[in-house]
Structure 1
Amino acid sequence: MNILSVVLLFAGLGLLAYLRLPLWLAALASLIAAVAVVTATPLAWPVDVIFSVTAAALVFMALKPLRRNLLSRPLFNWFKTVLPAMSDTEKEALDAGTVWWDAELFSGRPKWKTLFDMPKPTLTEEEQAFVDGPVEELCKMLDDWKINRELKDLPPEVWQFIREKRFLSMIIPKEYGGLDFTAQGNAAVVTKLSTRSLTAAVSVMVPNSLGPGELLMHFGTDAQKKHYLPRLARGEDIPCFALTSPQAGSDAASMPDEGIVCKRTIDGKEVLGLSVSWDKRYITLAPVATVLGLAFKTRDPDGLLGGKEHLGITCALIPTSTPGVEIGNRHLPGGSLFMNGPTRGKDVFIPMDWVIGGQERIGQGWRMLMHCLAAGRAISLPAQSVAGGKVASMLTGAYARIRYQFKQPIGYFEGIEEPLARIGAEAYRMEAAHKLTLSALDRGDKPVVLSAILKAYLTEANRKVVNDAMDVHGGKAVVEGPNNYLSLGYQALPVSITVEGANILTRSMIVFGQGAIRCHPYLLKEMLAAQDDDLAAFDDALWRHVGYLISNGVRAPILGLTGGLVSPSPVSGPTARDFRRINRLCSAFTLTADLALLILGGKFKFAEKLSGRFADALAHLYMASATLRRFEDDGRPSEDLPLVRYAVDDSLHQVEEALHGVYRNFPMPGLGPILKWLCFPTGRRHARSDDRTGHRIARLLLEKSASRDRLIHGAFMSDVEDGTGLVLKAFDAVLKAEPAEHALRNALKQVPSPSNIDALCSKALAAGVITEEQAEDLKNAQALSARVIAVDEFTPAELQGSQSEAPPALAEAS
């Protein structure tokens, strides 16, 4: 009875912690239990002591004035001494953007209603008409081989079409002549263009992402907006934005570019402005830009503005025709020759009204950039990655059905099924995460952590699907030429992975480094309270944090033992178990992350390996959630379940792997194995999908189906016999001829090929196995298949190299 009473006491407190009920309720319950035990129950005195001490401790913690002065005050004084110094750029990065579902995942107890309250992704009628009209027309004008290997630029008529149809104005409000598209609309345009030509997509997306247009809309003066936005909308001005310096790279705080506040006499008048010097590189559209957005550090050594000397980073807008502005020669980004190059300037004087937002915005440039990046990272680069998934699914599935080896389509081999399954599931998951995040943007959120997740993890996923597509195509994808629809995209992959900071940086420093502070329910509040010297706010955040930690310490082992079965699911049916599995892993992730943060403190921002593993876990919890939400949005089509199952299984497997990597390398020796046992008491539970699921996905890509159509929806489908159009035409022809092929093979015991099709059709017709129409279908399918399988050839003259003529020895031999 004595032991049972103690067990019941702590079981009851554990239940309160599991349910995250208030501290005062736990104190009241323990006090009532202690009084009952001490006064009414004949138990041994140690039991009385346990009940009494527990009640006293909880009551003490529930009494705020007492707790605050005796416990919180010394902790507050200590916390202020160990709180790491935060640079201005770090503060501004933390202040930028908002949190949403990422914060729910970090709570350890996600409220699924928050996810399902987000509006379903959709395009407006105007946006859909633009995608079906001008975007489709532009795609038909593009020849990526000619653009990249011959012209090394978009043709003049394409540039003119882009300007006339206002492709450069998707983010500009209609009052200034822009299209004023939603984030979904903007992304749909970039996605479709990217399935046709990355050069065209980049040329369109850059003015519609981080750059002068967006900065002007959010921070420009009325005069700046009225002057520049209509010109940008009409394409009269082509913008670029220069941020990256050779010595600074991704560390904007170290940029050497500088503007010094000074006065100059212009037309007999003294003008206050800045003398700016810079050296920037990797600047997209710089070679054709008419207006240059520029970020630079600002100094006021003479005190002309009446304040401190070092004012911070400033953003300005400078016409490229300004004396002293130098637009350098072009860079050549691999695989996608969009306009890109350096820009320099030496002591270029700009008046104050060229500063974006005017003089009052001097020194606010980094905050302005972080505000825009919080949203912009989620649109364009992820759209390119989604496009890569669509292209790989559409064309690799088709090619694997067309191409025969050992008397059957190569897509029927289990070795090929594996990459096909990865391609299909990755494409499904990428688009799910992208569209969900775009919905948050269109609702007015600026999900800075989720944007970083999309940039890093979708560009990496694109690399994987394109690599798989290359492997399936083999030599077809290696030999360059107009009919090779993969090699240019493959060569261009590092561009999206490197831009805005390489993914190594994004994963190891931004996703969790920023996410841990922004998404944690109490950590930022504690830091701000310490900076503001607010003991009351610190006390409130601290003890809520303690309760949060205890709750997750209870929830993690319970959900680990039950596999999450005791947690609620927002849906019933085949995916209900997946929601519960996410609940279970969220509790393990949150408990582990919280303890790591408490132990490392300010040193955590230098623990990049741990941070990277936590980033992997957070990213895949988000992508698994997005995958499940997409399935619901699509109406739960049963034929899509293999894609959902494969994507979710893979994400949850990666979450588990990341956490086990943390336990092996936990900063406090001995605690890692304990946490591993608490969070995964029954061992590893999350394996990747089985071969049967992969087989079903592969077959989805090899045949025409509603599921395949949903997967590749939004991609450009050429209707002419160019590289991609020929594959799609051959795919249709092969599927149409499939019944006749089966009849021929069953009757003649031979496999049709381009070399024997005429003879086989003659025999089959004579035997009455097939009709004349079916014979024509078979011949057409084989002819088109042969053209698809062929690779490009070039004469020596066409190559135009130093050996354009045959070497003498070869000439003599011939």
Structure 2
Amino acid sequence: MALTLLIVVLAILALGYLRAPLIVWTAAALGGIAYGVFAGGCHIGWLIGAAVIAAVLNLKPLRRALLTGPIFGVFKKITPAMSQTEQEAINAGTVWWDRDLFSGKPDYQRLHQFPAPKLSPEEQAFLDGPTEELCRMIDDWKITHELKDLPPEVWQFIKDKGFLGMIVKKQYGGLEFSNYAHARIVTKIATRGGTAAVSVMVPNSLGPGELLQHYGTEAQKNYYLPRLAKGVEVPCFALTSPYAGSDAGAIPDFGVVCRGSYTDPRTGEQHNDVLGIRVTWEKRWITLAPVATILGLAFKLYDPDRLLGDKEDVGITCALVPTEHVGVQIGRRHWPGGSAFMNGPTWGRDVFIPLDWIIGGKAYAGQGWRMLVECLSVGRCISLPAMSVASGKYASFVTGAYARIREQFGLSIGKFEGVDEAMARIGGMTYQMDSAQRLALTGLDMGEKPSVLSAILKYHNTERMRKVLNDAMDIHGGKAVVLGPRNYLARGYQSIPIGITVEGANILTRSMIIYGQGAIRCHPFVLREMKAALSNNAAEFDDAFIGHIGFVGSNVIRSLVLGLTGARIAGSPRSGATAQYYRDITRFSSAFALLSDMAMFSLGGSLKFREKLSARLGDMLSALYLATAALKRFEDDGAPKADLPLVKWAVEQALYDCQQAIDGFLDNLPNRLLGLALRPLIFPLGRHFKPASDKTGTEIARLLMEPGEVRDRLTRDVFIPESENDAVGVLNHALKAHIAAEATEAKLRKLQRDGKFKALNAKGRLDEALQGGMITQAEFDMVTRARRLKREVIMVDDFDYTLTHHDTQLSERQPV
């Protein structure tokens, strides 16, 4: 009897783990019961009952009549209503690798079949040519402190070289670069100056250019796109209002369909008695608005006289309005902290525009929200994530060099464990950010519009940017506190809130958007069930519901089996150091899928108001994405063994974060009995995932402080000036000189401890060592150069009494 029971249990576990279809479960169950009846003496009633249940489950007409039909009636009543904006947001974009992570069984072969991102020869030439030249033209201190704008020659260079038309197709005179190239160009510029990066980034992100290419009429494309590509037109897009930030669907700006007259500012022609819109708006935080020549404008359109159709409330609409048009107000500026990019308000009252200024023309009246969220799923993968990656790469480059050059107690500060712990976070998070964006960009260039992944990138990259820059500031200490041309961190640090706030505030993105979209779009059955309810399609609901029940049952078994075995029975596409990571991700993918279903089951429509729980579910999905992105990047780079500390930190931290999110979810699930029941399924042997070890962290810190391939790969696209007179450019020179002089400096310290010197300062002791034959002339020259460059690195600016002019002869003062 015990053996029979064991066989039954093993069979159930095997069928559940392998996700056997319903017919296989049925056949196995009937076979087992038949064996019990005919060989084990069980009552024939068991077999009859099982046959009845099997018939109900497998014969669709019977199943629909007795089981799924009644459930469908209840489901239709409890399915939460969605607003039009919610429906359009959910329908926006596509699902891609995020669907695999939601499946409980990611297909890693598919992951590694995605092409590694790369630049075309034309894109590489642009990155190495005009982008490098633009970076050399940027003086960020002058821009942010003195001019509070880009110099005219920089603006002109940006326009002339096509930076504003990177996404515009070549048929319209644009560069038509890939999303990957677009992101890398923005990243490089951002490592030199945030103001220039934002000025280039915005016209290539969500705005008139993107919207026109997807939805514009042929006349609009033919007129505007060539002008946008060459910088003849400078665009901005006005969505956010003082009363509607993250809740963009609540914008109070409105337009009323009517007849009127206007003068076209582009041609000077007068048009009388035409059908158009009288628009009133007040917008703020609109990047490039103060200098824009064309205003993309989002507003709610009303048609009280039914001049367009039978709807009075037409919906959110997007239009293109020349800023020279009568009634358009621009020119005033906001001042975003740490940057000087053009940003400001725009407003207008009862401004009449013709219908053909609607993007896409009359046919797209009321389609604005759908247009915006579809384009946002692309833009949020590129702009702010690229700026965040730039911050991570830049912080890794400058902090690694500074921590090796700067000494305290005769030791490079990067060798102190407290500092190397912070440096490990800088390197590890930079690897995570870069990997996450690279994978998403691969999807974009394959034609995907991964809306869920774009939300993950927006939130997690900007949050990691915040942490990385905080750690870099801490390590630099006083060097990063004093403002001036020598301070290469402060402006980026001051700008952190910009990335956190725009394109969907981070609190909202984490607590509502990531999982709010992911739960419906990525789940293999939920959206099918909801659509079936909305369309009253009982047959489709039947298929989806039965599949959903099997999915839940399988994930219960998979979570338990993978937890009991430490996921060692799960498959892995790679052997060696990273093999177990794939297995652990599979384990947590099954657990995440199970918890998602249990959350929706126990909370129903109220889940979207349980933002803390939704945020933790989003954290789980995000952690799985970050882990798989790091593994994909490692393989794309050729699996270099030297990079293992970085990939280990990135993946182990992501797995630990996933574990903590699961733990917090289980602790706070309102149905406490359900939470208690789920815990032993997911953590049958307890929680054993830990962040990366101190040893791994120290290895990363050493890699950041040592010139070499690993450091170069991690900090690729950081603009590095060649001049020793540049605050960033001097770092590489100083780092190499410092390393070369370390042995001689150690010799000098020993000589000092042995009482060989009479001089009271370092310069005097160095002279004594040379004169006394204790060091060679070559060693003397080497140490002298290293010390001079070290001084250039560690000194901070001072100013006259009015803080107007900094001391340009600072390096010439006689050092102690």
TM-score by length of 2: 0.95
Q: Does 1:778 align with 2:783?
A: yes
Query: In structure 1, which of residues 725, 728, 735 is the aligned counterpart of residue 732 of structure 2?
Result: 728
1:111-510 equivalences in 2 (<5 Å): 111-265=107-261, 267=270, 269-510=272-513
Q: In the alignment, which residue of structure 2 is the partner of 1:69?
A: 65
Question: Does residue 1:794 correspond to 2:785, yes or no?
Answer: no
Matches within 5 A, 1:633-644: 633-644=636-647
Instruction: Give 1:43's aligned amino acid.
Output: G
1:650 aligns with 2:640: no
Please report how far the alpha carbon of residue 724 of structure 1 lies from its aligned counterpart in structure 2 after TM superposition: 1.1
Q: Residue 714 of structure 2 corresponds to which residue in structure 1?
A: 711
CA drift at 1:800: 8.6
Cα distance in 1, alignment partners of residues 353 and 107 from structure 2 = 51
Q: Which amino acid aligns with 2:33?
A: A
Which segments of 5 or more consecutive residues in structure 1 lack a partner in the other structure? 802-814
Determine the structure 2 residue equivalent to 1:15: 14
Please state how far the C-alpha of 1:25 moved relative to its aligned partner.
1.5
> Do the aligned partners of residues 268 and 601 (structure 1) sit closer, same or farther apart at CA in structure 2, a change above 3 Å counting?
closer
CA deviation profile, 1:387-429 (whole Å, cap 9, x unmatched): 0001110001111111111111111111111000110111111
Mapped to 2, the partners of 1:437 and 1:314 lie a distance apart of: 29
Q: Does 1:580 align with 2:580?
A: no
Q: What is the alpha-carbon distance in structure 1 between the residues aligned to residue 309 and residue 657 of structure 2? A: 54
Aligned match of 1:37: 36
Q: Does the C-alpha gap of structure 1 residues 742 and 131 become closer, same or farther in structure 2, counting only changes over 3 Å?
A: same
Distance 1:750 1:570 in 2: 59
For 1:62 and 1:269, how far apart are their aligned partners in 2? 69
Structure 1 residue 742 and structure 2 residue 741: aligned? no
CA pair 385-419 structure 1, distance change in 2 beyond 3 A = same
Structure 1 distance, partners of 2:434, 2:423, is: 17
CA offsets 1:579-636 (integer angstroms, 9 cap, x no match): 1111111111111111111111111110100001111111011000000111111111
Q: Any idea what SS the aligned residue of 1:583 has? A: helix
Give the Cα separation in 2 of the matches to 1:770 and 1:672.
Answer: 71
Which deviates more from structure 2 when the two are superposed, residues 57-66 or residues 486-495? Answer: 57-66
Q: How far 1:558 sits from its partner (Å)?
A: 0.5
Aligned-partner Cα distance in 2 for 1:629–1:306: 51
SS of residue matched to 1:545: helix
Counterparts of 1:291 and 1:6, CA distance in 2? 75
Corresponding residue of 2:266: none
Q: CA deviation at 1:669?
A: 2.0
Deviations 1:57-80, CA, capped at 9 Å, x for gaps? 344212211111111111111111
Q: Counterpart amino acid of 1:338?
A: F
Aligned residue runs from structure 1 range 556-571, under 5 A: 556-571=559-574
Q: Measure how far apart 1:783 and its partner are.
A: 1.5
> What code does the residue aligned with 1:129 have?
A
d(CA) in 1 for partners of 2:73, 2:783: 83
Query: Distance in 1 between the 2:393 and 2:566 partners?
Result: 34
Looking at structure 1, the residues matched to 299 and 271 of structure 2 have their Cα atoms a distance apart, in angstroms, of 28
d(CA) in 1 for partners of 2:86, 2:710: 44
Q: 1:338 aligns to what SS in structure 2?
A: coil
Residues 172-210 of structure 1 show CA distances to partners (whole Å, capped at 9, x for unaligned) of: 001111010000000011000010000000000000000
Of stretches 743-752 and 711-720 in structure 1, the one that deviates more from structure 2 is: 743-752
- With structure 1 as the length reference, what TM-score do the two structures score? 0.96
- The answer to whether the 8 A contact 2:799-2:805 is kept is no
Corresponding letter in the other structure for 2:314: L
Partner of 1:534: 537
Contact 2:251/2:299, CA 8 A, preserved across alignment: yes
Given that 2:291 and 2:331 are in contact with CA atoms closer than 8 Å, whether structure 1 keeps it comes out as no
Q: Give the corresponding residue for 1:520.
A: 523
Structure 1 position 638, deviation (Å): 1.1
Aligned counterpart in structure 1 of residue 606 of structure 2, from 603, 606, 609: 603
Contact 2:261–2:352 (8 Å) recurs in 1: no
Structure 2, unaligned runs of 5 or more: 263-269, 807-816
CA distance in 2, matches of 1:150, 1:312: 44
Secondary structure of the equivalent of 1:685? coil
SS of structure 1 residue aligned to 2:219: helix
Q: Secondary structure at the match of 1:416?
A: helix
Kept after mapping to 2: 8 A contact 1:287/1:340: yes
Q: Work out the CA distance in 1 between the residues paired with 2:528 and 2:253.
A: 35
User: 1:417-456: CA deviations, max 9, x gaps?
Assistant: 1000110111111101111110100000000000000000
Over the residues paired in the alignment, what is the CA RMSD in angstroms? 1.7
Displacement of 1:51: 6.0
Whether the aligned pair in 2 keeps the contact of 1:757 and 1:778 (CA below 8 Å) is no
CA distance in 2, matches of 1:383, 1:552: 36
Secondary structure of the residue aligned to 1:332 is coil
From the superposition, tell whether residues 740 and 268 of structure 1 become closer, same or farther in structure 2 (CA, over 3 Å): closer
Contact 2:436–2:625 (8 Å) recurs in 1: yes
Q: Answer whether contact 2:333 2:344 (CA < 8 A) is retained.
A: yes
Are the equivalent residues in 2 in contact too, given 1:296–1:314 (CA < 8 A)?
yes
Return the letter of the residue paired with 2:40.
P
Could you tell me how far 1:637 is from its partner in structure 2? Answer: 1.0
- Secondary structure at 2:106's aligned position in 1? coil
SS of residue in 2 equivalent to 1:723 = coil
Q: CA deviation at 1:10?
A: 4.1
Deviation for aligned residue 1:728: 2.6
**AA in 2 matched with 1:728:** N
Describe the SS at the equivalent of 1:296.
strand
Q: Aligned AA for 1:42?
A: G
Q: Percent identity?
A: 54
Deviation at 1:641, TM superposition (A): 0.6
Deviations 1:448-472 (A, max 9, x none): 0000000000000000000000000
Higher mean alpha-carbon deviation, 228-237 vs 631-640, is at: 631-640
1:628 to 631, 639, 663: 631
SS across alignment from 1:377 = helix
| Contact 2:56-2:66 within 8 A present in 1 as well | no
Cα displacement (A) at 1:260:
0.6
Aligned length: 796
Query: What are the superposed Cα offsets for residues 73-96 of structure 1, whole Å, 9 maximum, x if unpaired?
Result: 111111111111110001111111
- Per mean C-alpha deviation after superposition, the further-off stretch among 220-229 and 787-796 is 787-796
- Paired with 1:553 and 1:700, the residues of 2 have a C-alpha distance of 42
In structure 2, the CA distance between the partners of 1:735 and 1:12, relative to structure 1 (3 Å rule), is: same
Amino acid at match of 2:84: D
Q: What SS does structure 1 have at the residue aligned with 2:688?
A: coil
Whole-Å Cα distance in 2 between the matches of residues 365 and 479 of structure 1? 46
Distance of 1:679 and 1:444 partners within structure 2: 36
Q: Cα gap change, 1:470/1:291 in structure 2, threshold over 3 Å: closer, same or farther?
A: same
Aligned equivalents of 2:151, 2:495: Cα separation in 1: 20
The alpha-carbon deviation at position 764 of structure 1 amounts to 3.2
SS class of match (2:577):
coil
Which of 547, 563, 569 is the matching residue for 2:550? Answer: 547
